[in-house]
Amino acid sequence: MKVADNIRYVSTRGNDDAVSSAQAIIQGLAPDKGLYVPTEIPKLSFKFTSMRGVAYRDIAYKVMRSFFTDFSLEELHKCTAGAYDEKFDTPLIAPIAHTSEAEFLELYHGRTAAFKDMALSILPYLLIAALRKERVDSTIAILTATSGDTGKAALEGFADVTGTEIIVFYPKRGVSEIQRMQMVTQRGKNTHVYGIQGNFDDAQRGVKDIFSDREFEKALAARGYRLSSANSINIGRLVPQVAYYIAAYVRLIENGRIKNGDKINLVVPTGNFGNILAGWYASKMGLPVNKLICASNENNVLTDFINTGVYDANRKFVTTSSPSMDILISSNLERLLWHLSGGDSQEIKTYMKNLERDGKYRLKPDTRAAIDEMFYGGYASTRTVHQTITKLWNEEHYLVDTHTAVGYKVYMDYKIKTGDDTPTLIASTASAYKFADKVAACLGLPKEEDGFAYINAIKKKTGVPIPEGLRRLDKKAVLHNLNVKPADMIRAVDYVLK
């Protein structure tokens, strides 16, 4: 199929100025606090069968050139070649594991052992290319809120990248011990990490408030700085995630799990809605998707939303064993609603205004009908998540982390409820070793003194290799030990960028 000639990007909230993908990547968030969305979703430029035996980086290149039409082919080749190389522990980049009930798309083979590596390995390359293209000579300050995995992946990707500073805020008591140590031991002259006294939603809200502060923006510009983001609010972070669903379909054909044209279900453990939105984009490009199964933990705001059409964040925030999903405000949902509403920015502004004012909003009937057609929402309690980890290991000899277990449990409930036997791909979002204490308990292992002792205990019991990035992590020096209140995040950024 023909690749769209000129994809432009507009704000979900009605800013009339369409920008190039390079400009959208540099800005991160639109000036009106909306998210950048493509004016059209391009169709795949190739047939799935023509990609048999093709390297992951080359499939990713073809997907990204369909969206980032203002980048030259040479620029995109350099970006994908630089991103998807030996920094992953398998040449497949994102291999697929098979169990009796489903296929698991393993997205955690990068340096930080989480799916965020798949996009944050390439975002620095895209950003630097965009800066050159737009002749921007300011230092780019990457401002990021994390629920655990984005922070380390962003720090790893941008560490010592010329012309950038990277500032990460994480909930001090809302990440695993391993996740925290990955961030606070990060080397790099341009890396800055702060724990906040709050949850991820507080961190995310603080980051968005900083982006929308025009006086602060002017002050930073006078110092030679410009803000951008490594969160999935940045379109340069979201589009690379589309590629792995397309590549996975090709691999399923290669492995004989499906035939070309067969529909599949996609199951995605979901917090901020970016990963599942990438699956939806893939479906609109031509990926044969039957159902997008949105899997939540006990912070099940998305489950209720999909089932009722009402987004209601007025509920107790629950700290669970799957902390990267402990989120009540799912930013990327705004993008989906813009597309499903036919690009009605006024509708989106009304939703977001109601969410900010009342903590809730109700979908219009047509938009809700579009959600019902494509999405299924379910959630899993912490208790059943732990039981699922135990069951998968005992019966399938397959080890998963707490987030992937949420996806598997929700899928099994869906299958029982619907009888749907469509081949199903589950996004396996992190190594089990990142949540070693919880996984060890599920395996019946005794208590240990810390998360690192649990890592060794799991390795001894299962034989599953420990990711390179997690080995000897406990021996690294803590380089970042500052904490701030959410209200003081802007002061922290101001201090870093003096």
Q: Which residues are catalytic?
A: 116
C-alpha 377/C-alpha 393 separation (Å) is: 25
Element (H, E) at 371: helix 365-374
Contact predicate 434/178, CB 8 Å? yes
Distances (CA, A) of 91 to 70, 314, 466: 29, 45, 17
Distances from the Cα of 264 to the Cαs of 59, 253, 307, in angstroms? 19, 11, 21
CA 48 to chain centre: 24
Please name the residue that has the structure tokens 């969305």: 37
- In this structure, are residues 266 and 279 in contact, taking their beta carbons and an 8 Å threshold? yes
Query: Of how many residues is the chain composed?
Result: 498
Which residue is it, tokens 């540099």? Answer: 26
- The residue behind tokens 């299962």 is 462
Helix (H, G, I), strand (E, B) or coil at 346: helix
User: What's the rounded Cα separation, in Å, for the pair 343 and 337?
Assistant: 8
CA–CA dist 403, 82 (Å, integer): 29
Please say whether the beta carbons of 33 and 208 come within 8 A: yes
Buried b (16+ CB within 10 A) or exposed e, 271-307: bbbbbbbbbbbbbbbbbebbbbbbbbbbbbbbbbbbe
Complete DSSP assignment for 249-313: HHHHHHTTSS-TT--EEEEEE-SSSHHHHHHHHHHHHT--EEEEEEEE-S--HHHHHHHHSEEE-
Specify the amino acid at residue 418.
Answer: T
Residues 261, 218: Cα–Cα separation, whole Å:
52
From the list 177, 159, 146, 76, the residue with the least C-alpha distance to 111 is: 159
